[in-house]
Structure 1
Amino acid sequence: MGAGRVIEAVADAGPLIHLAEIDCLFLLHLFERLCVPQAVWLETINRATETRLLELGHISRYTPTQAEVTRFVQDNGLQNLHSGECESLYLCRQINIPYILTDDLAVREAAKRLKLTPIGSLGIVVKSYRNNLISLNQAERYLLDLHDVSTLFVTRAIVELAVEELHRQVKE
């Protein structure tokens, strides 16, 4: 995805939940505006409290009609995905935002088929470092915390690759 701030993204529940679990919702300031569909909001409200999300100040909530989402799901063969995931993909297409925040492999694959760019929790941390929002030490700690503290299903090997990528950037 390269360096540079992403102006807008649509969020699925995973990154909101996982970043909240490691007390890093502030990393979402990487985005100027974050769009959250209603199904995702309802899924995350218990884990990442409404107050903490709203305090970010750049969250826009959307409630798509069920009929539109159902048609989108059928037209794009997304029946295997959950409602929040479907609403997130639909919202990206509906309001023309090419970035979707998701940690789910099936959603990442669907996003790519729909010509969208998925960004996961690890990617948010790396991109925050690249944009000088956090230090190298913080980025390393947050990547490790995503594995050790959060409920994100990610192997240690993948986290270590992300940490290596951070160090490669320092040398360049």
Structure 2
Amino acid sequence: MEVSKKYKWALGGLIVMVLLNAATLFTIWINKPDVRNWRNADDRDRNPAQHFMKERLDLTDAQSDSVESLRHAHFSEVRQNRDSLNKYRQAYLEFIMSDESGNKAKKDSLLNLITGQYHQIESAMYQHMAEMKEVLNSEQQQKFKKVLKNTVFRNQHDNREHRERMHR
């Protein structure tokens, strides 16, 4: 085949590919989803859990602000405690794998650090729930109790199913 014919075929193929790509991009552009600017999103989009609680518990704006502040502080504290817990657990695992793993005093010391962190996490949860209880009226407290029960039991059920799938 002559070079000029090869060039014409290559040029024709290139033009077809450019047209197909243009048509594909145009189709994607026409069918793109409606994406809102995240800076202008309402509370529901920024914090779905907060919106859920405000709606489900019929919170006033003041209560909603208090709950959001309490939740933020609580999750920050728990995150710090979990980071410390993970650090202690890592140290414990390194200790177990080390040559000094028979050192009972060090083992007990590391276990005390780990259980102390669990205690702090649970104490933070207790304090958080007590603070939440102060913000909510008695009717809202009952609704909150139901929401918590449903969430905890659903999470326990989901975790149990996950463990069962992993052991199959």
Tell me, yes or no, whether TM beats 0.5: no
Q: What TM-score comes out, normalization by structure 2 length?
A: 0.28
TM-score by length of 1: 0.27
Query: Which has the larger share of helix?
Result: 2
Using CA pairs under 8 Å that are at least 6 residues apart, name the structure with larger relative contact order, 1 or 2: 1
